[in-house]
Chains A and B, each alone.
Chain A
C-alpha cells in the first residue's frame, strides 16, 4: 500500500470489479435498443426530468468535487468551499439557454452545429479547436485523476486503476451510447450524494461544529476569514471557468438536444440548485481535521483521511465508491459528447458529407474507442504535465462565453466578432496564465472576449435570421 492508502488493495480490487460489472451491465441493458443514430447519440431526444436532472448533476460532480473540495477547504477555508459551489452558476445560467437551444434547433446534434450555422465556417473551426483542446484536456485529466486517486486510496498501481476505469467507461458508453451514460449517471448521482452526506453526518457525530470553529480560530484563523484575497480571486475565476465550460461544451449541448420538450430548463435549473451545497457538504470535513487531532501530510488527501479516521474501514470503502462513481459519471459523458462532436463536425461535415446514418453510427462507436485508446496512451506517457492542460483551457473556454450567449439571444452579433472574440480571448487569457497565474486566465479570456463581441457588434451590427439554425435538422 502507498503511505497514505486508506483501503486494503484486495478490498479495493473487489470493489473495482463489482462496480465495473455493474456499470457495464446497466449500460448494455439501457442501451440495448438504441439502434438508430439519434437513439445512440441523443437517447431518442425524449429524456425526462428525473434522468435529465441527475445526468447534469453527475457530470458536473467530478472527482474534483469529491476530492478537491476538501482540499480547497483545507487550503482556502470557507471561501474555498463557497468558490467551488459557484460552479453551479454555469448550470443555472445554462437552464434558459437549454430551452432556447431546443426551440431554435429541434434537430441539432452538437454545439459545433450552432456555431457553424450562426457564425460561419471560420468561427466554427476556431471553436472546434477550442472545444476539442478542452475535451482532450478534460479526458486526460479524468483518466489521470482516476489512476492517481485509486492508487492514493488503495495502493493499486496507477496504471492498473487508470486502465480499469478508462476501459469500463469506454465499454459501457460504446455498448449503449447516451442512454447508457444517462442511465448510469442516475445511479451514480444517488451513490455520490448519499456517500458524501453519510461521511458529512458521521464527521459531525465525531466532532461538533463549535469545536471545529474554536479550534480553527486558534490554530488557522485565516481559514475562517471572510475577506481572504486569494480565495476571492479563486472564487471569481472558478465561476467564469465553470460558465465557459458549460456554455461551449458539447457535453451540455448534447443533453439540451436529448432532453424532451420542456425538460431542459427545469432539469438544468434543478441540477444547479441541488449542486450548490455538494462542495460544502463534501468539503467541510477537511476543516474538522485540526479538531479531531488528525495530521494531514498532503492536502489533496485530507478528505479520505478524515473519512477513514471518522468511519474507519467503512468510510474508506464508501469514499472509494464515491470517487469511482464520480470519475465514471464524468468520463462517460465526455467520451459520448466528444465522440458526437468529432463524428458530426469533423467526420460528417469535413470528410464524409454524404455518409449514411448507418455509417455515422459506426463512426460514433469507432470514435469512442479511438478516444479511449488515445487518452490511455497519453495518461501512460505523461502523468503530471499533460493533466495541467485542463488548467490553461480555462482561458480558451472563457473566451467562448460571449460568442455563445450573444449568438443565442442577440440577432445583431456578427461572424467576425465571434471568431475574433474566441481568438483574442484565448491568446490574452493564455498570456495572463503564463505571466500572472492560473487564477486570472479565465477572467482575462472572458473580459477580452466580451470587449470584442460588444465593440464589433456595435460597429458592424448584423441581422441574423434565426430560421437558418433549422438547417441542422436531420
Chain B
C-alpha cells in the first residue's frame, strides 16, 4: 500500500515546519530564563 502524495507532503512539510520553529522557541526560552535569572 503506497503512501498517498498528500500524506507524504504533510509528513515532510510538517517535519520541516516544526523543525524550523524549534531553534526560535529555544532562543525565546533562553531569553525568558535569562531575564528571570533562571538560566542555571
Contact = CB atoms under 8 A, between A and B. Distances in A.
Contacts, number: 100
B40 A182 contact: yes
Interface in A182-196: 182, 186, 189-190, 193-194, 196
A186 B26 CA distance: 9
B25 A274 contact: yes
Nearest to B2: A224
Interface residues of B, number: 27
Contacts of B1: 225-227
Contact of B5 (A43, A210, A284): A210
Given A48-B39, A179-B40, A224-B2, A53 B9 contact: no
A280 B8 contact: no
A280 B15 contact: yes
A209 B40 CA distance: 43
A256 B25 CA distance: 21
Contacts of B19: 193, 196-197, 200, 274, 277-278, 281
A276 interface: yes
Contact of B40 (A46, A78, A280): A46
Interface string B7-36: 011011111101110110111011011000
Report whether over half of chain A's contact residues are helix, strand or loop; otherwise say mixed: helix
Contacts of A78: 3, 8, 11
A50 B30 contact: yes
A224 B32 CA distance: 42
Contact of B16 (A44, A46, A201): A201
Interface centre among A44, A50, A179, A281 (most CB of B within 10 A): A50
A189 B26 CA distance: 9
B40 A53 contact: no
A67 interface: no
A209 B22 contact: no
Contacts of B8: 78, 209, 212-213, 224
B12 A280 contact: yes
Given A260-B38, A277-B19, A217 B26 contact: no
A386 interface: no
13 contacts: A50-B33, A51-B39, A182-B40, A186-B26, A193-B19, A193-B22, A197-B19, A200-B16, A212-B8, A226-B1, A277-B16, A277-B19, A280-B15
